[in-house]
Structure 1
Amino acid sequence: MISRFDRFRATSGVLALATMLAAAPAAAQSNLPPPTAAGNQSTTADPTGEIVVTGSRIRRDPLAQDAPITFVDQQDIARTGLNSITDVLQRLPSSGGGLNGKFNNSGNFGNPPDGGGVGAGAAEIDLRYLGSKRTLVLVDGLRFVNGASASGVPGSVDLNAIPESMIERVEVLQGGASAIYGSDAIAGVVNIITKSRQKGLIASAQVGEYQQGDGTSQNYQISWGNGGNGPTQIVIGGNYVKQGSISSGDRDISLFPEPGATSCLAGGCSSGTPLGRFIVLGQNLTLRGPVIGRRPVYNPANPTDPASDFKAFTTADRFNFAPYNLIQIPLERYGAFANLKQEFGPDLNFSAKLLWNRRNSANQAAPLPLFVGPDAGNGNLLDRISISATNPYNPFGVTLQSGVTLGGVANGTTPNYSFIGRRLIENGPRRYEQRVDTTYGTATLDGKFAAFNHDWFWDVNGLYGRNKARQTVHGNVNAANLAQALGPIGACTGACVPFNIFGGVGSITQQMLDFVAFTQRDRSRQSLWGASANLTGGLFELPGGPLSLAVGAEYRKYRGRFDPDATVAAGLGSDIPALPTRGSYDVKEAYAELSAPLLKGVPFADLLELGGAVRFSDYSTSGSTTTFKGDVNWKPVRDLRFRANYAEGFRAPTIGELFGTPSRFDQELTDPCSGTPTGSTLANCRAQGVPAGYVQNNPQISVITGGNQGLKPETSKSWGVGGVYSPSWLARTSLEVNYYNVKVKGAIQAIDANTTLQQCVIGNDPVACALITRTASGQIANIQGLLQNIAGLKTDGLDVNFTYRSAPGPLGSFGVTLNNNFLFKYRVSVPALGGSTTIKREGTEQGSPDQAFPKWKGIGILDWNLKGFGASLTGRYIRHVTESQNGNRLGDRFYTDAQLRWEPEAFGQQFGFAFGVNNLFDKDPPGCISCGLNNYDPTTYDIPGRYFYLRATVKMF
């Protein structure tokens, strides 16, 4: 077997090229709508077959798309073998990634600066690399409630909250649509169309596992419908998905903090070690080994004395935290849904939708690095602890003074220690467990009537959604109890047990942990309720068809809150601090859309159509705005279509961005004052109180930021041109080319902490220096910054898509789809020293937060079906990128997936079986030095290892 796989690897480059040239139907995406396409808002029957397609409120032929739309249906999803609709969508070349099951961050790096939380266990979609907050997610044309992961108030939809069994297809509009749908649709729209009709029962079961024997998954889907032919149409269903964990220690790429490293000498390891790091009495020390059952020995006259238990701290003593992390998180989802439609007559219908979903997920980090002392940088009681000489484990013979009381008031003593770090191995890894419940329901009354000699369609909608999350964190420490346990022995009474921070591995007993440790319990929730009304129909005839109008109004109310554990909120946690956040806002909107087919069926104008839309939005928090949209749809001949569009967009600030309370995230920064600064930099450092000989303790600096109720909406302008060639002589074939250009102004973010640091130390800017807090020894305690409308984004590129589906023949039917995104430019403008600077992102890896910007991404699939048998071969290509911080090159990657299917004709194709392998040639992701965890970018690349899966399906009509 090994030799066979070696031969496979040797020929993988040839197969990769062949797959890209002759690849792929539905499994990736298609610019042709599936045959089962149905309306996504008004459900009243339309004898012309025209429906509402994502990107417009006006009914039209789904083949006459006036905007670039990608369709992903149930068959496409099944061909991937993936267990999440998010993972399927993140394969689209136009997708920039987003949160998924490969993200293990639960706040151990800190909370993002926007109050949105880390989104642990959530799954999001990001189009055009503009961020998930700038991609609008709809369900049947209506808004869905934003996610909650008990770490903040996110501004994006968690797609894990939507049961896959209810999905009929997904329509992805790859362009701005704020004039049609309102806020958030700057990058595009993802519209999830649910099953409204189904005959009989459809059930499937899939199991999968990586070749290493981990990451085991189970996926069970079931749905039933009464046929949908009578006046009452019902579809109900449910799903259960379970995903096993993968330890970072079980993949070579993530064994150490630096890719390919075999020890901590390569860098990246932590100063919080099990043996401890002690910067005391002017010395930087660590233990030579564990000291259990006695007090360690320290010789103040000779710190290098071999008889001493202490020695000088070096890089080799740092702690490798990497193997404790997860490269895939454990996750369990189960939910149910019901879709109901009742026809009261040919012109009046009622429909309702209800779903409930639960997500249980978990993340893991290395045992808590407990940092105490004036230079610890926690920003709370831990920085003010003095360790009493009467503590029975204190080997230094004197009280280690912080210089202040626990309340932060100077106590007249001189600090004689600055930092103690001790990794609490005895308390086990930090474990973050989330339980997220989502409830969502809609009700629609729709109908039609005749006016102006045309049919007019109307609908009135109501919706309510709630996302409620709880997170339980194991491994935190109560700072007040720790202060008592390290303080005078006479004050350690009652349940208090003196704490041994000095003795190394195994010296902290269970009794000590029982007093200082606590289980952290955080909560968050978001809710959305709203109402909308829409009306669309024809006014009068133009040479190319009816002048069509759509008008509507909408009201929405958003509420969100985050309640951290009471101990954490009181500032007594030893991990990431947090404070309660809560807020709400409402929005009132009205829109109008017009479609004018000027010509049809004349020379050089088989169709010429103009369209436009305008939307007025009034937010209770950020004021009002008006956006416009215009487009041209021209078919000079029957087989060729050209289109162009211009759109204004906006994104209103979210609850977390507006009302987020101060939080902390840990950013790797280099202090210019550290080491041997020279010239004006040296002078500025001394003027700012940095003493001679100062050396930065840790590369991670606490950055404090929070919400800003003065934020205004982001605004955008986008335009695109493209063409579609659909030859009449070759049915079900199309070649589509689309150019896009997007500019965002007033993008919401905080001034980068490194910019603030440079402006202060190098530019001696008093405003910047006021945002930096240093300790008496010169260490940076924190850097502050509020969210502001300060950034600008510019991006443009080209999408090239080809689709072909043959008719059945003696050799079966074939499908070929090839989808590509070519990123020409992605620029970010931000404040910098002396003004502003523009960062070039195309062809680079951003790193922490992880995001690659490859200049070319492509996916292709070759699909074949014959008499119940089927096969698919998928190729996924990602062009190389270079890390912005260090010039490290992340090479090209080409992943190959294969699937075999069988639906026995003897059973009327009521039973189906599929076997597949993803990452057939076992391609590892490229090693990334600047990425946050596991040394690769999880937004872009696959988990190392082949993934095998087997699925069985039954259909009962």
Structure 2
Amino acid sequence: MNAPRRHPLAKAVSLSLLVCLPLAAIPSLAAAQDPDSDPSATTLDAVQVTGTRIKKAEIESQTPVQTLTRDDIERTGLTSIGDILQELTGSGSALNTKFNSSGNFGFSPNGDGVGAGSAQVDLRNLGAKRVLVLVDGMRWVNESSASGVGATTDLNTIPLALVERIDVLEDGASSLYGSDAIAGVVNIITRRNFEGGQITLNYGQYGEGDGDNTGVDLAWGMNTERSNLFLGASYVEQDEILANTREQSRFPVPGTGLTFGSSGTPRGRFIFTDPNTGVTHDITPNEGDSDPLYDPTQTGCDRTDGYHCFATADRFNFAEYNMLLTPSTRSGVFGQYRFYFNDNVHAYAKALVNRRESVNQAAPEPLFLGLDAGTGNAFADGMFVSADNPYNPFGFDLASIDDPATPENEANLILIGRRPVEGGPRVFEQVVDTQYFGAGLEGSFEAGERTWFWDVNLALGRNEAEQTNYGSYDIRNIALALGDPAACAAVAGCVPLNVFGGPGTLTPEMLAWIQPVVHDRSEQKLSQFTANVSGDLFDLWAGPLSAAAGIEHRKYEGSYNPDPLTVAGFYNGVPSLPTSGEYDVNEAYVELNVPLITEGAFGKSLDLSLAGRYSDYSTFGGQFTPKYGLRWQVVDELLLRATYAEGFRAPSIGELYGSASRADLQIDDPCLVGVDGSPPTGDPANCAALGVPPGATQTNSQISVTTGGNDQLQPETANSFTAGVVFSPTFGANASWSERLDLELTYYRHSIEGAVQAIDAQTQLDLCVATLDPLYCGGITRTAVGSINAFSNRLTNLGSIKTAGWDADVFWTLPETSAGQFKLSWQNTFVTGYEAIGAAGQVQPRTVGIEVTDSAIPEWTSTAALDWNRGNWSAAWVIRHISELTEDCGDAASFPVCSDGAIVGNDDDGNPIWAGTNTLEAVNYHDLQLGYEFQWLKGLQLTGGVNNVFDKDPPLCLSCSLNGYDASTYDIPGGRYFYMRANLRF
């Protein structure tokens, strides 16, 4: 069959670029012009260059674009676009399936929700919401979240099977693409001209015999004289890996045992004041004693009544219930059809349906009741336990609020911490459905002797998610079951509740009354229309003035609807309220490429690129963003380029309208004795002024922080600068030692003003204690015993974020010999600076070389790949490097596991007190792959590989909130990963 007919010159250039773009099947930035090529600009038809709207061959190398070809993708052995992009040296910390992101970690401190089970991409460490994701040049719909209306794209909604290549523009591009393109653009190019069929089978497993990954991809396409059709289907199933299967992740903070475990235990922790004696107790039942008999005369810790004083050994290890790798199943179908009416006009239509089913798991949900519960829930914090409750062993009422009717009945309940393991772990099941439809017309026309290209496009995207939560509790029903038995008896289904016995004392009838099934739903929609035109306007002294112009309309709609139980305030877990909103934007842009000089004393060519876009938002008004670029071809082998761009990011629906929700974060309260017994670090006078009694203890290492949207937010504004050189020396071309050699160096700098973010919660608390400034303390309240019971940490437009660094890359193709052909790519990113400043001048803790809040900015990341081909054989060896990091040990400084710590004294028991930082040592991962192609049908390619050949574990992270790993920086769960792939073409 013949491919659709096109303009002969355009077709020839398209084919040549399709060969050159992959750069010998290794990821590359756009290289300098081939010395043998015609220096005149050439129009394109089949290839759309990411980073410009002008279809010119020379424009391709104006901006730093990294291209991942199909070969690059398959060499990773990975089955998720997100996982692949997170291995790029320029990528930062982003959510992936290694985050067990539900439960306490399921709500974002940015107020826009956490898409549990999703995979995102961050460029230049500026955050995933500042990266624009395109599919064939059109925006992709944002994710639906389990906890709000997200501001980022879930790459797990795009099947890997439909991808032809991925272009990554690591430069500001708001003038060309609009909002969100501050840090860069990811443009996923789908497969189009495909002939015949293909079946790909994937299987992988970790060296421990778990984490199985199974997948099958189907592809089929046909071309006729006037049309082409591509159909694809994909299925991927990822099994879970539990935290208790790895030594490093079996405890909340590795190397500290149960010190950072929970006060919510299966036997229960009871802190109360006996109204008869005035003695305050902190006790728990002895192990195996489900019916202790409280003796009020025993006021010390040497007891014989079935209780003992609560100690570290009694804490609950919640970590072993977590997951290191969350299970998911992704299935999708995709189709694309193009019909060529003639040589100048064709129509297309494309559609996708994708479903992701994923699961997160957390430990059995604890019940924290009383004055020190700190949940912000009126039922939990104001709990009343009747003396008449048949299971109350103390013989008197337990109340966390004074009874004004009887002044003698003062509040005496400080904390009940009971974890009903009888109800099983919390299991969060997500079902995410994505639908996409796009259609349009594309064509060309002649104006004088010039060819112009045009296109009009319509795209509709929808993302729906439902999360079902098993294992949580109805706190209102708990309060009713613990209170007056007569009131409980008057309500159908209510039975008195036993939170005082050990594990196994909660009966099925009790669980049926207090344990509901919770359903949360969310949805996002994106409707967009674009029209573009591109061509040469007229000739200048150095060549034609090329231009592109277009208009765009987009409408965003989003909603989040938590379970009615949650809305009513009866949910014992993380509270949240409904969110909904919409906005639209109209835009127009112009891009020009102005040739300034032709070949002469100042080099071969010098081109100036200009672009500007005006955006009119229904939420805040208009915004104009320009971009300027220079491309100087000094000689055939040397290219210099530079760009300066202004950009912006409009606040998302969740950031604008998101209701208050809670994130339970690992925070050290400087006014309280640490959970490990370490002394307070805050100023004693200031702590007293904040209402903290001397000697008050932080009972839990997690503090509930309330986040939410702010409809007064303004857009983030940014400027980006890049400057680079591409050197392809002639002495490295067609030589005995080199077939081709490309050296590339790029400097980048990004600056964001008014960044939408909440101040780091730990920083806010530290500044509150240090300054007593209402700016920091206004949203923080404490109970009578000193613990925090409300912590408001709302979104605002922060002061600034600035980052800078270098990319340095080498691409070397060696001559083919009897031993085969070798190709080397070595890509490096060096981050020379990162600084975030709050609106009031607060320096945020995140910076280069520091691990903080489950993310890191390594100073140097590097990937070196050596490919080999000989006949039917192929092989690849990849080395990935992540430089050393440092973290503050926090309360873990009390342990020798804080490797850089020093002994600064001894505690009351004579144990050493440590202080300092922990070093996360540099890591090198080695990946190997070997393949052989059989000449059967159109080819059968068998490939096997091992990632992390030398069984390198990720470094110990003491400050990470889950599992002792930074899941966004390192390979989790560690150990070798073996995989095989069979790829049959027919």
TM-score, scaled to structure 1: 0.92
- The worse-fitting range, judged by mean Cα deviation, of 592-601 and 173-182 is 592-601
1:200–1:225 Cα contact (<8 Å) kept: yes
Shift of 1:521: 0.6
Q: Take 2:876 and 2:679, find their aligned partners in 1: how far apart are those partners?
A: 60
1:121–1:149 Cα contact (<8 Å) kept: no
Q: Relative to 1, partners in 2 of residues 1:307 and 1:920: Cα closer, same or farther, differing over 3 Å?
A: same
Q: Does 1:881 align with 2:885?
A: yes
Shift of 1:884: 4.3
Q: Take 1:829 and 1:491, find their aligned partners in 2: how far apart are those partners?
A: 54
State the partner residue of 1:247: 242
Q: Take 1:697 and 1:402, find their aligned partners in 2: how far apart are those partners?
A: 17
Match of 1:824 among 822, 832, 856: 832
1:361–1:433 Cα contact (<8 Å) kept: yes
Q: Does 1:929 align with 2:958?
A: yes
- The worse-fitting range, judged by mean Cα deviation, of 112-121 and 85-94 is 112-121
Q: Take 1:459 and 1:88, find their aligned partners in 2: how far apart are those partners?
A: 31
Q: Take 1:680 and 1:319, find their aligned partners in 2: how far apart are those partners?
A: 28
State the partner residue of 1:231: 226
Query: Residue 803 of structure 2 aligns to a residue in which SS?
Result: strand
Match of 2:876 among 872, 888, 902: 872
- In the TM superposition, 1:241-640 aligns within 5 A as 241-261=236-256, 263-264=257-258, 267-281=259-273, 282-292=280-290, 294=291, 296-304=293-301, 306-380=303-377, 381-403=379-401, 413-493=409-489, 494-640=492-638
Shift of 1:840: 6.1
State the partner residue of 1:702: 704
Which string of whole-angstrom CA distances, capped at 9 and with x for unpartnered residues, describes residues 280-310 of structure 1? Answer: 1111111112433x46434344353532121
Q: Relative to 1, partners in 2 of residues 1:125 and 1:206: Cα closer, same or farther, differing over 3 Å?
A: same
Q: Take 2:80 and 2:95, find their aligned partners in 1: how far apart are those partners?
A: 12
Which string of whole-angstrom CA distances, capped at 9 and with x for unpartnered residues, describes residues 310-352 of structure 1? Answer: 1111122111111110000001000000011111111111011
Q: Take 1:709 and 1:137, find their aligned partners in 2: how far apart are those partners?
A: 25
Q: Take 1:797 and 1:430, find their aligned partners in 2: how far apart are those partners?
A: 43
Which string of whole-angstrom CA distances, capped at 9 and with x for unpartnered residues, describes residues 236-272 of structure 1? Answer: 01000000100111111101122244x31xx321111
1:603–1:636 Cα contact (<8 Å) kept: no
1:639–1:727 Cα contact (<8 Å) kept: yes
Shift of 1:792: 1.2
Shift of 1:830: 2.0
Q: Does 1:770 align with 2:778?
A: yes
Which string of whole-angstrom CA distances, capped at 9 and with x for unpartnered residues, describes residues 592-640 of structure 1? Answer: 0000122233344212111010111111112211111000000110111
Query: Residue 530 of structure 1 aligns to a residue in which SS?
Result: strand
Which string of whole-angstrom CA distances, capped at 9 and with x for unpartnered residues, describes residues 909-939 of structure 1? Answer: 5111011111111000000100121111111
- AA in 2 matched with 1:740: Y
Q: Take 1:328 and 1:586, find their aligned partners in 2: how far apart are those partners?
A: 38
State the partner residue of 1:842: 848
- AA in 2 matched with 1:924: D
Aligned residues: 911
State the partner residue of 1:7: none
Q: Does 1:801 align with 2:798?
A: no
2:670–2:682 Cα contact (<8 Å) kept: no
- The worse-fitting range, judged by mean Cα deviation, of 111-120 and 690-699 is 690-699
Q: Take 1:25 and 1:275, find their aligned partners in 2: how far apart are those partners?
A: 63
Query: Residue 514 of structure 1 aligns to a residue in which SS?
Result: helix
Q: Relative to 1, partners in 2 of residues 1:123 and 1:767: Cα closer, same or farther, differing over 3 Å?
A: closer
Q: Take 2:868 and 2:618, find their aligned partners in 1: how far apart are those partners?
A: 54
Shift of 1:810: 3.1
Q: Relative to 1, partners in 2 of residues 1:177 and 1:503: Cα closer, same or farther, differing over 3 Å?
A: same
State the partner residue of 1:727: 729
RMSD between superposed Cα atoms in Å = 2.3
2:106–2:147 Cα contact (<8 Å) kept: no
1:150–1:525 Cα contact (<8 Å) kept: no
Query: Residue 888 of structure 1 aligns to a residue in which SS?
Result: strand
Q: Take 2:667 and 2:24, find their aligned partners in 1: how far apart are those partners?
A: 45
TM-score, scaled to structure 2: 0.89
Which string of whole-angstrom CA distances, capped at 9 and with x for unpartnered residues, describes residues 644-695 of structure 1? Answer: 1101011110111000101111223333432599999444444443334433
Q: Take 1:478 and 1:678, find their aligned partners in 2: how far apart are those partners?
A: 35
- AA in 1 matched with 2:745: V
Q: Relative to 1, partners in 2 of residues 1:202 and 1:212: Cα closer, same or farther, differing over 3 Å?
A: same
Q: Take 2:314 and 2:807, find their aligned partners in 1: how far apart are those partners?
A: 51
Shift of 1:142: 0.6
2:182–2:647 Cα contact (<8 Å) kept: yes
Query: Residue 593 of structure 1 aligns to a residue in which SS?
Result: strand
Q: Relative to 1, partners in 2 of residues 1:680 and 1:67: Cα closer, same or farther, differing over 3 Å?
A: closer
Greater length-normalized contact order (CA 8 Å, ≥ 6 residues apart)? 1
1:403–1:413 Cα contact (<8 Å) kept: no
State the partner residue of 1:178: 174
Q: Take 1:596 and 1:503, find their aligned partners in 2: how far apart are those partners?
A: 80
State the partner residue of 1:20: none
Q: Take 1:34 and 1:948, find their aligned partners in 2: how far apart are those partners?
A: 38
State the partner residue of 2:149: 153
Q: Relative to 1, partners in 2 of residues 1:64 and 1:775: Cα closer, same or farther, differing over 3 Å?
A: closer
Q: Take 1:302 and 1:610, find their aligned partners in 2: how far apart are those partners?
A: 83
Shift of 1:826: 1.0
Query: Residue 126 of structure 1 aligns to a residue in which SS?
Result: coil
- AA in 1 matched with 2:552: E
Which string of whole-angstrom CA distances, capped at 9 and with x for unpartnered residues, describes residues 354-408 of structure 1? Answer: 0010000001111111111122111121111200101111111101012268xx9
- AA in 2 matched with 1:946: R
- The worse-fitting range, judged by mean Cα deviation, of 787-796 and 242-251 is 787-796
Shift of 1:156: 0.5
Shift of 1:480: 1.3
Which string of whole-angstrom CA distances, capped at 9 and with x for unpartnered residues, describes residues 137-181 of structure 1? Answer: 000001000011332111001000011111100000011000110
Q: Which consecutive residues of structure 2, in runs of 5 or more, have no partner in the other structure?
A: 1-21, 34-41, 274-279, 890-915
Query: Residue 762 of structure 1 aligns to a residue in which SS?
Result: helix
Q: Take 1:72 and 1:202, find their aligned partners in 2: how far apart are those partners?
A: 20
Q: Take 2:333 and 2:555, find their aligned partners in 1: how far apart are those partners?
A: 25
Q: Relative to 1, partners in 2 of residues 1:34 and 1:656: Cα closer, same or farther, differing over 3 Å?
A: farther
Q: Relative to 1, partners in 2 of residues 1:27 and 1:547: Cα closer, same or farther, differing over 3 Å?
A: closer
Q: Take 1:28 and 1:411, find their aligned partners in 2: how far apart are those partners?
A: 78
- AA in 2 matched with 1:280: F
Shift of 1:421: 0.4
Q: Relative to 1, partners in 2 of residues 1:654 and 1:809: Cα closer, same or farther, differing over 3 Å?
A: same
1:290–1:506 Cα contact (<8 Å) kept: no
Query: Residue 598 of structure 2 aligns to a residue in which SS?
Result: strand
State the partner residue of 1:854: 858
1:290–1:507 Cα contact (<8 Å) kept: no
State the partner residue of 2:276: none
State the partner residue of 2:921: 891
Shift of 1:550: 0.6
Query: Residue 78 of structure 1 aligns to a residue in which SS?
Result: helix
Which string of whole-angstrom CA distances, capped at 9 and with x for unpartnered residues, describes residues 181-230 of structure 1? Answer: 0001111000000011101001100111111110001011111110x342
State the partner residue of 1:69: 65
Q: Take 1:193 and 1:503, find their aligned partners in 2: how far apart are those partners?
A: 60
